[in-house]
Structure 1
């Protein structure tokens, strides 16, 4: 059975902006509201929701963070060719 996960993310251009967003999240800000406001990914319309995906479907650094990081806790910044991600893993089967 393929390893699958579901996650939200916020994609920004700079590490500084990602760290600022992570700080806001740690202070209790709403992940989906920040995604709608700051993310450069089309998923921002859904509050950063990427839905369910298989291991290996995403960029390697993103994939590693999703399948090894804590659940329901903002992870990041994670750098990929697209920019810097803050990730919230909703669930996974591994």
Structure 2
């Protein structure tokens, strides 16, 4: 499973970023511009996910998501995550 994410420290940014995504904005570019995570330099790319290291709420949401969909915000100890599921690997 591969995903990108945008980590937000304030809920005030969730709505405008989600609106931009819905209007077709590039998720990776939004991650570069707005994410508080070091992965922002790679467009928020988490790469191949290790499901044992992510919070259960994030894994559960990703398991329900369709490839290409954006989910969130999902709260963690780091902040609020907007996550785009990029691909699902064959098991």
Give the alignment's TM-score, normalised by structure 2. 0.89
Q: Which has the higher strand share?
A: 1
Matched with 1:43 is 39
SS in 2 for 1:37: helix
Figure out how many residues of one structure are paired with residues of the other and give that number: 90
Q: What's the CA shift for 1:74?
A: 1.2
The CA RMSD over aligned residues, in Å, is 1.3
C-alpha distance after superposition, 1:16-43 (max 9, x if no partner): 3122211110011110110000000000
- Segments of structure 1 that go 5 or more residues without pairing to the other structure are none
Matched with 1:82 is 78
Matched with 1:16 is 12
Cα distance in 2, alignment partners of residues 15 and 70 from structure 1: 24
